[in-house]
Amino acid sequence: MNLSVPDWQSLPAFFRRVASGDLFRWRDTFAEYLTSTGRYNSEDDVIKNFEPLVKDLRGWMKAKGYNFAEAVLDYTLEKKAELVRKDGKTPSALHEVTQAVWFISCIEDGLHVDDPEGILAVIFSHDLGEDFGVLPEDLSRYLRNERGFMDSLAIDEFLENFDVISKRYGKTGAPRYKNDYEYYLAIQKMKNASVAKMIDRAHNIMTLIGVKENEGPEDKMRMTVYVAKTLQLQSDYVRDASLAFPSQAEIYKALEFVIEQEAQVCRYYIVDTGKKITDDNDLRSEMPDKGFKKLPKGFHPLIFAAERIRHTYPETHLAKTPAKDADLDRGIISGSGGSKGSGSGSGDSAGGTAGSRTGTDDIPDFNR
Look at residue 217 in the predicted model and tell me its pLDDT.
83
pLDDT, residue 218, reads 82
| Cα gap 351→195, rounded to integer Å | 22
Task: Describe the crossing of helices 50-64 and 30-37 by its angle, rounded to 10 degrees.
Answer: 150
What pLDDT is recorded for position 25?
Answer: 42
Amino acid 329: pLDDT: 52
Angle between helix axes 116-125 and 94-108 (nearest 10 degrees) is 160
pTM reported for the whole predicted model? 0.84
Rounded Cα distance between 247 and 358, Å, is 42
Distance CA 22, CA 74 (A): 28
Q: Rounded distance, CA 42 to CA 47, Å?
A: 9
Rounded CA gap, 119 and 103, in Å? 9
Q: Within a domain: residue 82?
A: yes
The residues near 69 (Cβ < 8 Å, ≥ 6 apart) are: 1, 61, 117, 118, 120, 121, 124
**Tens of each residue's pLDDT in the chain, 368 residues:** 443 444 555 666 666 666 665 544 445 799 999 999 999 999 999 999 999 999 999 999 999 999 999 999 999 999 999 999 777 789 999 999 999 999 999 999 999 999 999 999 999 999 999 999 999 999 999 999 999 998 889 999 999 999 999 999 999 999 999 999 999 999 999 999 999 999 999 999 998 887 666 677 888 888 899 999 999 999 999 999 999 999 999 999 999 999 999 999 999 999 999 999 999 999 999 999 999 999 999 999 999 999 999 988 999 998 775 545 445 554 333 333 344 665 443 334 433 333 333 344 433 443 45
User: Do residues 103 and 96 lie in contact, with contact meaning Cβ atoms separated by under 8 Å?
Assistant: no
Identify the pLDDT of residue 341.
Answer: 61
Q: Note whether residue 104 is domain-resident.
A: yes
Domain range holding 301?
8-325
The pLDDT, as a whole number, for residue 177 is 98
Give CA–CA dist 341/253, Å, rounded.
Answer: 5
Let me know if residue 20 belongs to a domain.
Answer: yes
Domain annotation covers residue 342: no
**For position 337, what pLDDT does the model report?**
37
Q: Is residue 73 part of a domain?
A: yes
Q: Examine residue 331 and state whether it is found in any structural domain, yes or no.
A: no
Number of domains comprising the chain: 1
364 within some domain = no
Q: What is the pLDDT of residue 26?
A: 45
Answer for the pair 304, 206: CB distance below 8 angstroms, yes or no.
yes
Q: In 3-state terms, what secondary structure has residue 36?
A: helix
DSSP string, 71-116: HHHHHHHHHTTT-B-TTSSSBTTHHHHHHHHHHHHHHHTT---S-H
In degrees rounded to 5, what are phi and psi of residue 182? -65, -40
Instruction: Please check whether residue 338 lies inside any domain of the structure.
Output: no
Q: Residue 19 has what pLDDT?
A: 60
In whole angstroms, how far apart are CA 85 and each of 134, 164, 211, 212?
20, 26, 9, 10
pLDDT given at position 208: 85
Instruction: Give the chain's radius of gyration (CA, Å).
Output: 20
Q: Compute CA distances 28 → 105, 109, 116, 132, 342, whole Å.
A: 11, 10, 19, 38, 20
Q: What is the pLDDT of residue 3?
A: 39
**Dist CA 312 CA 309 (whole Å):** 5
